[in-house]
Amino acid sequence: MTTATPARPGPAARKRGPAGLALALVGCLVLLTASLFASVMFGSKPTGASDVVDVITGGGDTYLRTVVESRYPRTVLGVLAGVCLAVAGTLMQGITRNPLAEPGLLGVNAGASASIVAATAYLGASGQHDTMWWALPGALLAGLAVHAVGTAGGRTSPVRLVLAGAVLSAILAAFIQAVTLSHPRVFETYRYWVVGSLGGRGYEVAWSVLPFAAAGFVLALLLGPALNAMAVGDDKAASLGIRPARIKGAGLLAATLLSAAATAAVGPIAFVGLAVPHLVRALVGADFRLQILFSALAGPSLVLLSDVVGRVLLRPEELMVGVVTAFVGAPALLVAVRRMKGAV
* Angle made by CA atoms 128, 133, 136, in degrees to the nearest 5: 120
| 60 burial level (CB within 10 Å; 0-12, 13-18, 19+) | buried
Mean pLDDT of 31-42: 94
Question: Cβ of 316: how many Cβ atoms within 10 Å?
Answer: 9
SS3 247: helix
What is the structure's pLDDT at 248? Answer: 84
Distance CA 87, CA 56 (A): 30
Nearest Cα to Cα of residue 284 among 33, 68, 21:
21
Distance CA 255, CA 258 (A): 5
Q: Model-level pTM? A: 0.87
CB contact at 8 A, 129 and 201: no
Mean pLDDT of 73-78: 94
Mean pLDDT of the chain: 83
Distance CA 166, CA 276 (A): 22
Mean pLDDT of 65-72: 88
Mean pLDDT of 149-175: 82
Domains and CATH numbers, the chain: 18-44+78-339 (1.10.3470.10)
Residue 33 has pLDDT above 70, yes or no: yes
Instruction: Give the lowest-confidence range in 175-184, 189-198, 334-343.
Output: 334-343
Q: Which amino acid is at 133?
A: W
